[in-house]
């Protein structure tokens, strides 16, 4: 490249950046007189021709640029744009597919293919391609600005398609699922949701001790817990002790989340050291909190009648869990599937919801919920009043007595190793 060409390219680039497009196009034409196969000049001249609406000339220049730089994905995508304006849908798809042959994970190419399929093919094909694009894309807060609108459209198409697909599947199996018990019906509603891409399978993920091959049950049948009815019968007395703590011992309610400086807080940033989610601990990591238990003798007595899980250094835990109005506990997983977590709802204003895996429910005051908290779960209080639940750990009812001893022994061994 001689000095004259270099100066012309610099001047053309500066003119384009300043918005003097006619001047820039004229300068690129001068470059092409000197170097007819200069790929940068061919591409830039093609872009300026597109700006003028001369799409046939633009594509001709861009095809010449492509022959000089066949691996340049931007050139191929610009050829696709020119072909679209020329209503040459085959040429547009050929250019898009050429980019994906060179890089199957090229996000602009995947999005362009999704748009093409949405216009010229089926919603099934478009949604499949848009879903692949969203898998390649970074998390939404990190979406590039120049692709944000396209990614939002892709997300909308995928969600709409998944809803329609799920509805279709449910309509087809409705007459069959109606014959099943309620708990089994939920399984097949979830199967339809997973098949349609609305949700993913939820798997047990224990942060500490995981017992393999235990069924991943969201909410357990309360009949598996022989102590449930007796505990529920004491709801009013337990609530009275809670209300006394709320009125006279508010200092006993501590933030449930308390990461030290320097520790990664992940999804807990908003609740870290915040009383929006607080706990009045009765047992913590296997140890009784005597001051608080002393103020709640009825609750202590009621919990003694429960088969609380005893896993050295980990369980039992028991607490009054208070969730402030307009507060959401983000999705998370628990420590071990050797236990189940039990809720006895005490104060439940309107607007409170709970989800474990695929299943979502309302708390009902005085009726326990027992669930596997190693499945992803979350809670929300969208109301205007405080929500409080008594939470405690119970043994997983699917473990034998011998297995409970194994769990306790392994937990203690883990804490003694290397110390």
- 210 Cβ partners below 8 Å, 6+ apart? 204, 336, 337, 374
Is residue 210 domain-resident? no
Task: Identify whether residues 155 and 302 lie together within a single domain.
Answer: no
Task: Identify whether residues 407 and 267 lie together within a single domain.
Answer: yes
Average pLDDT of every residue of the chain: 95
Residue 363 burial (CB count, 10 A): 21
Q: Evaluate whether 398 touches 196 at the Cβ level (below 8 Å).
A: no
Q: Which domain holds residue 119?
A: 3-160
The pLDDT value recorded for residue 182 is 84
Task: Please tell me what DSSP assigns to residue 45.
Answer: H
Q: Evaluate whether 179 touches 198 at the Cβ level (below 8 Å).
A: no
Task: Identify whether residues 150 and 226 lie together within a single domain.
Answer: no
Is residue 207 domain-resident? no
CA distances in angstroms from 21 to 5, 15, 27, 78, listed in the order given: 19, 7, 10, 17
- Considering its fold, how many domains does the chain have in total? 2
Is residue 190 domain-resident? no
Is residue 184 domain-resident? no
Kindly indicate the confidence band of residue 1, based on its pLDDT and cuts at 50, 70 and 90. low
The proportion of the chain whose per-residue pLDDT surpasses 90, expressed as a percent, equals 88
Residue 353 has pLDDT above 90, yes or no: yes
CATH number, domain of 56, equals 1.25.40.10
Lowest-pLDDT choice from 120-129, 132-141, 410-419: 410-419
Task: Identify whether residues 269 and 402 lie together within a single domain.
Answer: yes
Kindly indicate the confidence band of residue 119, based on its pLDDT and cuts at 50, 70 and 90. very high
Q: What is the pLDDT of residues 159-203, one digit of tens each?
A: 999 999 999 999 999 999 998 988 789 999 999 999 999 999 999
Compute the average pLDDT of residues 240-246: 97
Quick check: helix, strand or coil at residue 219? strand
Q: What is the pLDDT of residues 9-66, one digit of tens each?
A: 889 889 889 989 899 889 989 888 989 999 999 999 999 999 999 999 999 999 999 9
Q: What is the pLDDT of residues 60-108, one digit of tens each?
A: 999 999 999 999 999 999 999 999 999 999 999 999 999 999 999 999 9
CA 343 from chain center: how many Å? 25
Q: Evaluate whether 208 touches 336 at the Cβ level (below 8 Å).
A: yes
Task: Identify whether residues 94 and 241 lie together within a single domain.
Answer: no
Closest CA to 374 of 408, 336, 341: 336
Is residue 194 domain-resident? no
Q: How far apart are CA 334 and CA 204, in angstroms?
A: 9
Is residue 32 domain-resident? yes
Task: Identify whether residues 246 and 153 lie together within a single domain.
Answer: no
The proportion of the chain whose per-residue pLDDT surpasses 70, expressed as a percent, equals 100
The pLDDT value recorded for residue 16 is 86
Task: Identify whether residues 8 and 100 lie together within a single domain.
Answer: yes
Task: Identify whether residues 146 and 264 lie together within a single domain.
Answer: no
Compute the average pLDDT of residues 138-145: 94
CATH number, domain of 402, equals 2.60.120.330
Q: Evaluate whether 393 touches 315 at the Cβ level (below 8 Å).
A: yes
Number of C-alpha atoms within 13 angstroms, CB side, residue 297?
Answer: 1
Domain boundary among 141, 160, 179: 160
Task: Identify whether residues 120 and 261 lie together within a single domain.
Answer: no
Task: Identify whether residues 150 and 247 lie together within a single domain.
Answer: no
Q: What is the pLDDT of residues 308-348, one digit of tens each?
A: 999 988 999 999 999 999 999 999 999 999 999 999 999 99
- 351 Cβ partners below 8 Å, 6+ apart? 381, 382, 383, 384
Residue 204 has pLDDT above 80, yes or no: yes
The pLDDT value recorded for residue 4 is 81
Is residue 204 domain-resident? no
The pLDDT value recorded for residue 147 is 96
Domain boundary among 107, 131, 160: 160
Task: Identify whether residues 235 and 141 lie together within a single domain.
Answer: no
Domain boundary among 114, 139, 160: 160
Task: Identify whether residues 258 and 332 lie together within a single domain.
Answer: yes
Q: How far apart are CA 305 and CA 211, in angstroms?
A: 25
Is residue 91 domain-resident? yes
Q: How far apart are CA 250 and CA 268, in angstroms?
A: 23
């Amino acid at each position: 490249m001689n000095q004259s060409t270099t100066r012309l390219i610099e001047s053309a680039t500066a003119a384009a950046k300043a918005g003097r497009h006619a001047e820039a196009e004229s300068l690129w034409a001068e470059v092409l007189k000197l170097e007819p196969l200069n790929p940068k000049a061919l591409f830039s001249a093609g872009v300026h021709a597109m700006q003028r609406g001369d799409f046939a000339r633009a594509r001709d220049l861009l095809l010449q640029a492509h022959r000089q730089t066949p691996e340049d994905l931007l050139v191929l995508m610009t050829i696709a744009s020119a072909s679209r304006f020329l209503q040459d849908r085959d040429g547009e798809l050929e250019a898009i597919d050429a980019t994906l042959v060179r890089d199957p994970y090229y996000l602009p190419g995947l999005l362009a293919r999704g748009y093409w399929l949405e216009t010229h093919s089926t919603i099934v094909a478009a949604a499949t391609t848009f879903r692949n694009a969203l898998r390649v894309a970074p998390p939404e807060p990190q979406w590039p600005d120049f692709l944000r609108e396209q990614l939002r459209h892709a997300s909308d198409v995928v969600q709409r398609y998944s809803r329609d697909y799920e509805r279709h599947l449910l309509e087809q199996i409705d007459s069959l699922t109606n014959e099943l018990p309620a708990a089994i019906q939920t399984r097949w509603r979830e199967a339809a949701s997973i098949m349609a891409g609305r949700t993913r399978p939820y798997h047990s993920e224990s942060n500490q001790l995981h017992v393999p091959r235990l069924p991943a049950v969201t909410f357990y049948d309360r009949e598996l817990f022989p102590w449930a009815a007796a505990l529920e019968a004491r709801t009013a007395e337990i609530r009275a002790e809670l209300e006394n703590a709320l009125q006279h011992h508010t200092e006993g309610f501590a933030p449930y989340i308390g990461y030290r400086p320097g520790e990664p807080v992940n999804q807990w940033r908003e609740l870290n050291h915040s009383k929006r989610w607080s706990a009045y601990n009765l047992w913590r990591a296997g140890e009784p909190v005597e001051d608080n238990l002393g103020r709640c003798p009825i609750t202590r007595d009621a919990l003694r009648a429960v088969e609380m899980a005893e896993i050295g250094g980990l369980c039992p835990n028991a607490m009054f869990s208070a969730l402030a109005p307009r507060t959401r506990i983000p999705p998370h997983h628990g420590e071990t599937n050797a236990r189940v977590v039990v809720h006895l709802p005490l104060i439940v204003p309107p607007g409170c919801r709970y989800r474990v895996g695929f299943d979502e429910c309302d708390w009902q005051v005085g009726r326990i919920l027992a669930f596997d908290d190693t499945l992803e779960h979350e809670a929300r209080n969208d109301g205007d009043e405080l929500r409080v639940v008594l939470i405690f750990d119970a043994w997983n009812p699917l473990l034998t007595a011998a297995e409970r001893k194994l769990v306790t022994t392994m937990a203690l061994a883990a804490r003694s190793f290397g110390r």
